[in-house]
Amino acid sequence: MKNIPLGGMISTVVTPFRDDDTIDLDLLRAEVRYLLGAGVTAICACGSTGEGQTLSLEESRAICEVVVDEVAGTVPVIGGVIQNSTAQAIRYSLALKEVGVDALQVTPVHYVFAPSAEETVEHYRLVGEAADLPIILYNVVPWALVGLETIKMIADVPQVVAIKQSGGNMHLLVDLLADVSDRFVILAALDNLHYPAFVLGAHGALAAIPTVTPHLSVELWDATQKGDHELARELHRRVLTVWRAIDGPNLPALLKEALRLQGRNGGLPRKPFAPATPDDSARIEKALRAANLID
């Protein structure tokens, strides 16, 4: 199994859809280049920001192949797996490994019925053994949240090397940092709380907001590591302003509108979700101006 660095400011990348719901891989390449230019430490494709839950195996494979090619070994590439059975998670994981991803981001199964602790451990054990790549446990699903005691059990699965704590739970993030940060890389995915998470000792972030604010987010990580908390608090305020404007049920569409307003092109959201409304656009534009990201 590869041993790769998974700390610092890791960015997700959008999946640009066309009017006919197919994927524009040229726009994807442009976004990857932009993120690399901002100095992110890794790129995650086919996650929630990339609408991974909507992607076929073939689409996920094609996306990750493009990202791996564009990155060309400069930073790790993480492939997202959002599936509802161990068999499907293994199929996707093997396909993404085949095109060269360095690590996987894997959700627990989550359709209506939450698995038990033992079933969750077995899920990650089987995916880990099959793919033999570093796995980030993507702890995002509120009704299937993997708790601290279960995560301690997953410590016996060598391929699981990191926990991406999302699901709106700062309390669990604090417990993870206190109890298992010597075993796992702890990544913050609470987009409005990166600064306090870094102060508390998180090893980095893997989240949606760096996709929109990669330069600010990288500067925030660097400032916190240097102990420049005055600068870090100012950067946090600017990032928070943008996050408040795009946080919502239609996050991929709102996020893509924030890219468009910055002169970037993230394409359309996947149907049935609609593009941002004029009111959404006005709110996001106001936030980007307040954060000094557009003139």
Catalytic residues: 138, 164
Q: Which of 106, 120, 108, 58 is nearest to 78 (CA)?
A: 106
Q: SS3 for 185?
A: strand
Q: Which of 152, 148, 159, 100 is nearest to 124 (CA)?
A: 159
Six-digit token string for 109: 């199964």
Are the beta carbons of 213 and 239 closer than 8 angstroms? Answer: yes
Spatial separation of the C-alpha atoms in residues 188 and 178, rounded to whole Å: 14
Six-digit token string for 131: 């793919």
Name the residue with tokens 């997953």. 154
The phi, psi pair for 207, rounded to 5°, reads: -155, 175
Spatial separation of the C-alpha atoms in residues 68 and 32, rounded to whole Å: 10
